[in-house]
Every structure is written in structure tokens, then in C-alpha cells.
Chain A
Amino acid sequence: MSLPSSPVAPALPLTFQPLPYSSLQGRAGFSGFPSPAQDYEPRTLDLNTRLIKNPTQTFYLSAAGDSMEGWGIFEGDLLVVDRSIKPRLGHILVAMLDDEVLIKRYALYRGTPHLCSAHPHYPPLPLEDTDCQLWGVVRAVIHEYLR
């Protein structure tokens, strides 16, 4: 049984797809000696389990713009966003402000919480008296050098 070769992506959360791994359960040769690997769980490192702690609440977004480059987020980068995390100062957030979806760092600026970017052209946005809404917390950024 092989993975479906259809070009259509699965209609379940991408985060639910297990990474394929090869089975190591075979025996070594025909000699009758059991393979020493037999007692180990056939498991290889899985990036999903490392980057995605809450699959149901994890969404992938893509970044646009250059003003977060100072914190390592470049245009086209893949954001792993977990909506179940409570935001804390220092987190990078996806937030909604005036119908726009923004990636910003949640940090103190002159003693009050602001949404900050890493670019001098874009001053910190104060959070007080705005109807800014949290969308999710960025758990990881994936920057692909080859695609």
C-alpha cells in the first residue's frame, strides 16, 4: 500500500498527516539470527512532532513584507501558528488590526505593551485603545533555502 499519488492535497489538516517512515521490522538475512534493531521502535525523527504541539489548533500562514527581517522572518517564509497558546511578552503574534492580518512582536515599549516590528520605518503600535485582536502565536518560522 503506498501513499496516494494524486496531486490533490488531502482534505484533512496538513498537520494531521504522519510523515512516512520506513519499517525497520524486517529480519536481517535468512540466517535465523534476529536483527539487533528488532527490539527498537521503528521510528524516525518527525518534524511534525517537534514543531506542532497542538495539531488541531495549528495553522500555517505565509509571511509578506520585509519589516520583520530583523527577527528572522522573510517574505515567503512559512509561519507555524498555534492558536491555543496564551500570548506572553516576547512572543511573535499574528494579530488582526483594521481588517489587516499582521505579524508583530508583542513587547513593552516605554513601559506599555506594543506590537513591534524590526524596522525603523514602522514604529511600535500601541495596544491600548485599539480593537486589535489576537489570531495566534507563531511557534516557528520555516525559511526554505531550496524549494
Chain B
Amino acid sequence: MIGLVDANNFYVSCERVFDPSLEGRPVGVMSNNDGCIIARSAEMKAMEIPMGMPAFKLEALRRRGEIHLKSSNYELYGDMSARLCQLLRDACPAVSPYSIDEMFIYLEEFTDRQCQIIGEWLRRRIRRHLGLPVCVGLAPTHTLAKLANHFAKTMPDFQGVCLLQADDTTTAALLRQTPVGSVWGIGRRLAERLAVSKIHTAWDLREADVQQLRKRFSVVLARTALELRGTPCLHMNDLDQPRHRIMTSRSFGQPTGVKGQVHDALRRHAQRSAEKLRQQQSMARAVMIFLNTNRHRPDQRQYFPHAMIALPAPSDDTRAILDAVRQGLEQIYRPGYRFIKAGVMLLDLVDAEQHQLSLLNPPSRHRYPRLMATLDDINRRMGQGTISFGMTNADAAWQLRCAHRSHRYTTRWDELMQAGTHPGAIRECALRKQPLP
């Protein structure tokens, strides 16, 4: 069985771990520079405040105390994500992070019943040990596991854990009521084309003729149909779903602990990721890098660091991404480890067209779209990496507007969470520190 562990409203949940007064209240997290809403609590969703809503339109509600808005605190989210991943690694034979808040776990040697129990146990454990609510979807394939997770989240009867067997009446019933657009990797346009061929639900796609699908649509869609039947045919590398996140990672030919070599690899991945980003006409708001040592070598020191860096504004500029990668590496690199893998992930993507340039933050590199287009064109025609970036701007200003950022509780000594020895103690302590009027 393959499991997908997905944190509910991850950014909001991270905020709530360290600020219990946000529990049960409508909370939203804003993009870089407090532009628009990128994460919402269930209460905020219930108020029908949509994703991407410009934050200034919510200012009145915030002032009246009806909603809480937080600036994005990527350091905190990145750290909690690393902890979530580590907790799963401690418990499962194999884990593969898919995005900042979704991790696949592989439970091959267990029965369905055991998988269900492991899923429930993991859910309780993550809630208690990290304070994060998660849902778990379990199924024989990645595509079904993703759907199972969707059911676990949206149908209270599952109590957060949903196991789908490939051939089962429950699975069939659920697939029949699932629009095909909810299946992993099927976007709105493809769903419209499928509707013309009378494929409306996930079940219709599962029952469609695979040869026909391959001929009329694509190999990928044929594989998705097979996956819905319970035949695994997607691997982690195929899982890059456009418009969600972009990841480039590779193992080193030889394990290395040399910072320069690790940096080179990350730079290559960053440039490739930026190219993919521009290809699908998106911009990223944040960059995550990670390094892995070889976990099958218990004799060697182990280290699986992540670093998460927010970009000053959504960007598809290779130079901005390279700057972020360099910053991240400075934060996590430690000598004395033999790394076997490095990766770059671009997160919180937005459509480049829809992204309106903020008047407050005019892009300082205004000629870059042509530069980037020329770069991509040359690399496409003359081969990958014909032109690449050498030194990047070492002292870029990372001045983010983040008026409502919570403390970086887990990464800064001077921003720790406070606990009072009695009710009101935290308030009294703050008053004592204030100078007398």
C-alpha cells in the first residue's frame, strides 16, 4: 500500500501550534509582502473568502477582529515540514516528500488491516507530537492514494484515514461520485475535453479503454486510468503536477561532503526548475532546498536538512531563485556529512499572467523576461545548460514586508514561544519590559 499523509491547512495549522488562541477562529496566511491569501482555516473557508483574495480587501474584517491574518512565516513552515518528514521516517520503511505538506509513505509488506491501523496511529501521533492535524489516504497506487486522502479530508465518516482497495464496492461508489477533474493531474481543460468523450467521473475514466485514451489523449492519461484500476504505473519522478510545485532532485554520482560540489548541484537543479517554471508560465513564492545523506549506511552520520526561503516577490527569475538557494545552503550546510542527494523545490506557484505587479514593489530587474526567454530558447536549441549563470548577486536585499508575521518559534533564539507560570503572566512580563510612560 502507498499512503499519502497530508497536513490540513498546513500553514494555518503551524501557526496554531504556537498560538492556541487561533484555534477555532478564522485564520488566513498571506503571500510574500502580505499580498493575498494563500492559506485558510476551515472557519475562513466557511466565510467563503476565496484563495488569492487580496489582503487589503480584508483589512476591515481584520481590524474588527473578525478574522486573523498572518504574514507567511516560511522558516516556521519549513521547520515543521522537516519535523513531519522526520517523524514519518522514524516510523515507516520509506518516505518520499511530495510537497511541503504532503508526504508519501510506502507500506509494502503490510496487510490492508495493518495499513489502516498504521494510518490511524500516525495521525494520532503527528497530532500529539507536533500538534499538526493530518489526513491519511491509503491505496495500491499514488493516484488512488491521493483520492483516498481527498475523501479522508472531506468525508467526516472516515475520521481522517481512508483506505481504498482497488476492487471494492466502496471504492466504486466513491469514484462514481467524484468528478474527473478531481483526479490527480487532470486540469480543467483536460476535464472539459474528457467531458466531450463522455468521461465525467473518476469511474468513467477508470472504465475507459486504455488504448483509446493513449491514442486520443496521452500516455499520461492512460497511465492515470490504469492507476485508478489499482495498477501502479507512476513513479515519484512522474508526479510533477503542473501548477502545484516543481521539484528537481538527483543523486550525486559520488557521495560528497564538499560544499562547492553540493552548491553546484543545487544550482543546476535550480536553473532546471526555473526553466520548468517559465515553461508552464508560473511564478514561485518560495524555494525549498534539501540534502540527504545515505540512510542505508547506518555507519555514517545522518543528516536530512531542509531550508525554506521566501522570495521577495513571486518570481520566475533564475537569479532570484539562485540567490535563495545560496541563502538556504548557508543555513543548512554542515561539514562532515557525505551527501548523496540534493534537490530544489519551487513552491506556492502563481500564474505569471494573473500575477499583478505590485506598485509598492516594482521589479528591480525589469528587463529580465526577455533575458530569461532568450536563455531558455538557446538552451532548448543548443542543449540543456548551454548557457547558465555563474556568480549571482550575493547581497540581494531580502526585505520582505511581513507586518503580521508570527515569531519564528523554532529557528530563532530570540523568538521562542512563551509559557506563563500562571494565567496573565505573559502579559505582565510584556508590561514589565515596556518602559514607563
A contacts, CB < 8 Å to B? 1-4, 6, 8-14, 16-18, 55-57, 59-68, 73, 75, 78-79, 83-84, 94, 96-104, 117, 119, 121-122, 133, 135
Contact = CB atoms under 8 A, between A and B. Distances in A.
Given A1-B259, A6-B330, A83-B131, A14 B411 contact: yes
11 contacts: A1-B335, A9-B408, A12-B82, A12-B306, A12-B307, A13-B79, A56-B90, A57-B83, A67-B421, A100-B20, A100-B424
| From A8, A17, A61, A65, residue with most partner B Cβ within 10 Å | A65
A-B CB proximity, top 5 nearest? A65-B425, A65-B421, A64-B429, A1-B335, A99-B21
B22 to A, nearest CB: 9
Interface in B16-51: 20-21, 23
| From A6, A73, A83, A100, residue with most partner B Cβ within 10 Å | A100
Interface string B293-332: 0000000010101111100000000000000000110111
A12 B419 contact: no
A63 to B, nearest CB: 6
A102 B411 contact: no
Contacts of B190: none
Contacts of A60: 410, 413, 416
A11 B308 contact: yes
Contacts of A9: 331, 408, 411-413
Given A10-B331, A11-B331, A57-B129, A64 B416 contact: no
B380 interface: no
B387 interface: no
B428 interface: yes
B367 interface: no
Given A11-B411, A101-B417, A65 B429 contact: yes
A3 B334 contact: yes
Nearest to B24: A99
B423 A56 contact: no
A139 to B, nearest CB: 14
Contacts of B333: 4
B418 A64 contact: yes
B342 to A, nearest CB: 15
B259 A102 contact: no
A55 to B, nearest CB: 8
Contact of A65 (B23, B327, B328, B420): B420
A102 B306 contact: no
Given A10-B332, A16-B305, A56-B90, 19 more contacts: A2-B335, A3-B335, A9-B413, A11-B331, A11-B332, A60-B416, A61-B416, A63-B418, A64-B421, A64-B426, A65-B425, A100-B420, A100-B423, A100-B424, A100-B426, A101-B420, A103-B420, A119-B422, A133-B20
Interface in B371-415: 408-413
A4 B303 CA distance: 17
B423 A97 contact: yes
A64 B423 contact: no
Nearest to B21: A99
B128 interface: yes
Contacts of A1: 258-259, 335
B82 A13 contact: yes
Contacts of B416: 60-62, 78
A75 to B, nearest CB: 6
Interface string B84-102: 0011001000000000000
A5 to B, nearest CB: 9
Contact of B421 (A6, A55, A103): A103
A121 B129 CA distance: 32
B87 to A, nearest CB: 5
A62 B418 contact: yes
A97 B423 CA distance: 9
B204 interface: no
